[in-house]
Chain A
Amino acid sequence: MATLALDQVAKSYGEVLAIANVSLTVDEGEFLVLVGPSGCGKSTLLRMIAGLETLSGGRVFLGDKDVSRVDPKDRDIAMVFQNYALYPHMTVYENMAFGLQQRKVPKPEIKEKVLQAARTLDLTELIHRKPGALSGGQRQRVAMGRAIVRNPAIYLMDEPLSNLDAKLRVQMRAELKLLRARMGVTTIYVTHDQVEAMTLGDRVAVLKPIDGPEESNLQQIASPQELYLRPASMFVAGFIGSPAMNFMYVTIESAGDGLCARIVDTSWSVALPPGGNKAVPALADHVGKRVVMGVRPEFFSLAQPSTGTTNGRLAVDVLVSELVGPDAYLHFDLPTPEVDIGTDLIQERAETGHTDSRFTARLDSESLPGDPSRLDLDIDVSKIHFFDPKTTLAIV
């Protein structure tokens, strides 16, 4: 077991800069998940840690040792590949034993370790089969087994569950969690699936594609709960959480001893009394300015006529309602300019002449009225996030 540290690592392919300014440390026994959309450099970063990609800048430390120029085989790491990369002409046993054979481990010891790992992973029956005769889940377990028998300092996993069907993926995710609890080895896990990231990681690093050498791919590295509750930037806020956070432009105004956020181009406003939202003190510097307000779909609720407060109440025309078991996702438009968080969808809507923005609310499906086409929604003021529209960073 060991710690891992990245110090200002960078990777460019010719003119194209894929990774820049990434520094992070992984503690002993920690399970760190690298998550981000495709093209954010998460797999490249993992391959740089493995030594399969050379660094264009920065350093990689394993424990105290600078391994930046060390050959992959001497880094004491094991990797599970997305497509498993099992040797198709070798049996399950030979696949798992291969790494140990290369390290000149005595035969009886190899046998003991491989059989032990096979027992752990429930592969004993399959030990003489070839990968071609195994199911996806079994192959995945062999790939894990190949890593386990090596007993490396660090495990690297590159989207190991992405080739499995949805049901098996949930099952393997739970197994992975159990396995990890038992072994407690430092692990770096790459995924684009935020549910995997949130359920597996001790900490999650959110990465994003970069536009220039002054930027960093690393947006935030924190515990899953922290990412959800206190996203550092609009990118993280929009990436973590499903359905994604709603963003809208608001103008901050003074209102009595507190503030108020008025949704741009509309008459709706949300009062922000002191102590009503953690961002209020910081927002005082933004009075009269336009900022981005972020509301997670789950923090809308159906307005209760009995309660006196109507703060932040929105009357909306529901365009589409999707019932997903206990939840209902309601989509509605508001006549306010769209916030560009860098997704193609917005551009498409702008090109087709949309001047309003689409929002999503997640409600309890059982509380919905019979005809949910026109609803009054309340916003949980304490759960609203605010972001600087220029830097896209959270205002706290």
Chain B
Amino acid sequence: MAYLPYLLVAPSIILLLGLIAYPLVFALKNSFYFWNLQTSATPVGFVGFANYQMVLASPAFLNSLINTLVLTFSGTALEFAFGLAIALLLSTRLRGMSVARALLIMPTTIAPIVVGFLFRYMYDPQGGIITWLMASIGLDLPAQGILGSTNTALLAILIADVWQWTPFFAIILYAGLLSVPVSLLEAARLDGASAWVMFWRIKFPFVMRTALIILILRFMQLFNTFDLVLVLTRGGPGTSSRTLGYTLYQQGLIDFNIGMASATTWLVVIIVNAIVGLYIFFAFRKWEW
């Protein structure tokens, strides 16, 4: 019965291979073929690395890669920072914190596409509340509107994403703060730790145990941001707010160029895995305790 354990895990492995490996292999194969759905229902011919060359040579790809990296790194960092601040506030015994906890989870439960529409109305150059607020505190707004300017379009997407996902960080990090044993805080008090030392050397390491995982999850999600971009800017003006996710949509579902879209998919897989691999290598080295 030596193979019984393998037999028992086999269903999960097969399911996993079917759901993850098959699409990846399918995309890998297609990335070496010329295949445009507008002209053919099946791959037309083997083209080697031509699809990759075309993707890498197109300015749109480089542009959307930069946009994606900017959005992903700054979004994750901002959501973590704001989330941590809110979590610290939640852990105080200020009045109304239990109500705040209940309200906080709401943005996270809204579908991103709905968030996109909400923000589109708020960014509207005529009567959008954000436009109005910005104008009333005397900020110089672009004439084409916040979403219409190459300077502010990506920022507008970032703000909507931060609005939606900061509470998620806040709730999870709050749970992390709660996991700090009271006796540790008391020991630190007796050891003479100031409020800052207490946070930085005692609470923060505990919070980071939880945070390490959601940081990488959120990073991967943000890297593939598509819905907010579609609803808010469609990657525009020009390619100024185009992300890799939107580029993929453009290549595959508008231009129907399956070969190029597959090549882009694989480039994304490689980039994300490289970043995640590095992250895991460094972040989880001090994990054991």
Contact = CB atoms under 8 A, between A and B. Distances in A.
Contacts of B202: 87
Nearest to B189: A72
Contacts of A99: 190-192
B192 A50 contact: no
Interface in A61-117: 72-73, 77-79, 81-83, 85, 87-89, 98-99, 102-103
Nearest to A156: B190
B205 interface: yes
Interface in A107-133: 130-132
Given A83-B183, A87-B184, A102-B194, A73 B189 contact: yes
Most A C-beta atoms less than 10 A away, residue of B190, B205, B288: B190
B191 A102 contact: yes
B186 A81 contact: yes
A77 B289 contact: no
A330 B186 CA distance: 47
Given A87-B202, A102-B197, A132-B288, A72 B190 contact: yes
A52 interface: yes
B187 A85 contact: yes
A57 B188 CA distance: 26
A78 B188 CA distance: 11
Given A85-B184, A87-B202, A130 B189 contact: no
B18 interface: no
Contacts of B205: 89
B277 interface: no
A131 B183 contact: no
B183 A102 contact: no
B216 interface: no
B284 to A, nearest CB: 14
B128 interface: no
B289 A50 contact: no
Contact of B191 (A52, A73, A88, A131): A73
Contacts of A150: 191
B142 interface: no
Contact of A73 (B181, B192, B201, B206): B192
Interface in B156-200: 181, 183-184, 186-194, 197
A81 B189 contact: no
B192 A102 contact: yes
Given A85-B186, A87-B184, A98 B288 contact: no
Nearest 10 CB-CB pairings of A with B: A99-B191, A73-B192, A102-B192, A85-B183, A85-B187, A89-B205, A88-B289, A132-B289, A130-B289, A72-B189
22 contacts: A72-B189, A72-B190, A73-B189, A73-B192, A73-B193, A77-B190, A78-B190, A81-B183, A81-B186, A81-B187, A83-B183, A85-B183, A87-B184, A87-B188, A87-B201, A88-B289, A89-B205, A98-B193, A99-B190, A102-B191, A102-B193, A102-B197
Interface of B: 181, 183-184, 186-194, 197, 201-202, 205-206, 286, 288-289
Given A81-B187, A99-B192, 13 more contacts: A73-B190, A73-B193, A79-B187, A81-B183, A85-B181, A89-B289, A98-B188, A99-B190, A102-B192, A102-B194, A103-B192, A146-B191, A150-B191
